[in-house]
A and B are shown apart, each in its own frame.
Chain A
Amino acid sequence: MPICIPNSYINPNVRTVGVSKLRSLSASKLRGIDKTLVIQENDQPLAVLLKYEEFLTMQKQLMAVLETQAVLSDKEEIQNIVSGINDVKSGKTKTIDEIRHSIGKAKEKT
Chain B
Amino acid sequence: MKRYTMELSSPAEKMYRRICEHARGCIELGDASNPKVAVLGVVDELIDKTIPNNPFEAGRELSHPLTRVFWVYRERLHVFYVASPKPQTIAILSIWDTPKNDAHLRQADVILKHLVLTGQLDHVLAQYGLRSVSEGIRVRLAVVH
In this assembly, does B116 line the interface, its C-beta being within 8 Å of a C-beta of chain A?
Answer: no
In this assembly, does A107 line the interface, its C-beta being within 8 Å of a C-beta of chain B?
Answer: yes
In this assembly, does B8 line the interface, its C-beta being within 8 Å of a C-beta of chain A?
Answer: yes
Contact of A63 among B20, B44, B103 (CB under 8 A): B103
Instruction: Find out whether the CB atom of A95 lies under 8 angstroms from the CB atom of B96.
Output: no
In this assembly, does A46 line the interface, its C-beta being within 8 Å of a C-beta of chain B?
Answer: no
Instruction: Find out whether the CB atom of A64 lies under 8 angstroms from the CB atom of B11.
Output: no
Instruction: Find out whether the CB atom of A93 lies under 8 angstroms from the CB atom of B91.
Output: yes
In this assembly, does A8 line the interface, its C-beta being within 8 Å of a C-beta of chain B?
Answer: no
Instruction: Find out whether the CB atom of B100 lies under 8 angstroms from the CB atom of A80.
Output: no
| Chain B residues with CB below 8 A from A88, complex form | 7, 9, 82, 84-85, 91, 93
The bracket for how many chain A residues form the interface is 20 to 34
Q: A84-B11, A84-B12, A84-B93 are in contact. Are A64 and B63 (CB under 8 A)?
A: yes
Chain B positions 89 through 107: 1 when the CB is less than 8 Å from some CB of chain A, otherwise 0 = 0011110101011110000
| Chain B residues with CB below 8 A from A72, complex form | 65-66
In this assembly, does A60 line the interface, its C-beta being within 8 Å of a C-beta of chain B?
Answer: yes
Instruction: Find out whether the CB atom of B9 lies under 8 angstroms from the CB atom of A64.
Output: no
Chain B positions 75 through 93: 1 when the CB is less than 8 Å from some CB of chain A, otherwise 0 = 0001010101100000111
In this assembly, does A96 line the interface, its C-beta being within 8 Å of a C-beta of chain B?
Answer: yes
Q: How far is it, in angstroms, between the C-alpha of A64 and the C-alpha of B5 when the chains are bound? A: 25
10 contacts between A and B (CB under 8 A): A57-B58, A64-B63, A66-B102, A67-B78, A68-B63, A68-B64, A70-B98, A70-B103, A81-B66, A88-B85
Query: Could you list which residues of chain B lie within 8 angstroms of chain A, going by C-beta atoms?
Result: 5-13, 16-17, 20, 44, 47-49, 58-59, 61-66, 69, 71, 73, 78, 80, 82, 84-85, 91-94, 96, 98, 100-103
